[in-house]
Structure 1
């Protein structure tokens, strides 16, 4: 049986104290790849490296029934201003632990041991997938091309994120 492609509605959040949309190469990279894979860019914005603001935007998009997944870029490093990972974990119901591992393996092939400095993470909340990627276009390309393009494709076997989407909120429907 052949499965039909199911386009997802994906929001992109760039976390930066200095970038504007005109200078957002990482956000551009993700937006281009989303469209190139026949998914829909549901929303796009930039917010500062502020845990509360990042969390508030994630929560707003999680509550939006027209958004299936959120990809943030930036703020995943080790400096004091890097709080994207903490903001993501504030909203996760479940963390997708293997995403960080697979992203590190992919990164090691490209940047060697410098991959240890990334804290890329992923999780699920309110039936929405969330991914926090580093702020470089290269890291966004690697995450999309090596992981997300496959997991966001319903035809990908043996399994993918799309096929379990209807079950992500099961606990919210229980009494």
Structure 2
């Protein structure tokens, strides 16, 4: 069963937060604020934070820029994962992914089912890797961000988490780029 191995040191990671919304501003970005609070409480740092409209190319460009930044280990976006015509965050993430973390969406759906029942089918939360950086797209509600953090990300982004975690394999995410 999963557990924290107290013989290992905690390794903080640097996380960028992207809020995707046509209507939110820094003053009312509740989901972004929820993520920022959870990230800092866990001992990680906010490496960057911005708000962009629901525009696929802009979202993908921002993700690529952050993946190219050595000061960012993880990108978490919130918003734009639904089913409406303006919800293009998942498509933008997939434009950038080298590898998709298929089970992330599945586990998120499982967590959501326990909280909101069959309404969980309306979320398209996703995760992936690009240029040695983890990327996660979460729904735009503070509750969904909290659920994803508390039930998945806080554990997987903790080097002490056993039997395995995302942090311990971070140095190998871009090994294919270093091969000759």
TM-score, length of structure 1 as denominator length: 0.99
Stretches of structure 2 that go unaligned for 5 or more consecutive residues are none
Runs of 4+ off more than 4 Å: none
For 1:157 and 1:38, how far apart are their aligned partners in 2?
Answer: 18
Q: 2:100 aligns with which of 90, 95, 99?
A: 95
For 2:27 and 2:155, how far apart are their aligned partners in 1?
Answer: 29
Stretches of structure 1 that go unaligned for 5 or more consecutive residues are none
Are 2:37 and 1:32 equivalent residues in the alignment?
yes
Report Cα offsets for 1:33-67 as digits up to 9, x if no partner: 00000000001100000000000000000000000
For 1:163 and 1:22, how far apart are their aligned partners in 2?
Answer: 36
Q: 2:76 aligns with which of 65, 71, 75?
A: 71
Number of matched residues?
A: 175
**Residue number in structure 1 paired with 2:115:** 110
Are 2:138 and 1:133 equivalent residues in the alignment?
yes
For 2:175 and 2:40, how far apart are their aligned partners in 1?
Answer: 29
**Residue number in structure 2 paired with 1:21:** 26
**Residue number in structure 1 paired with 2:58:** 53
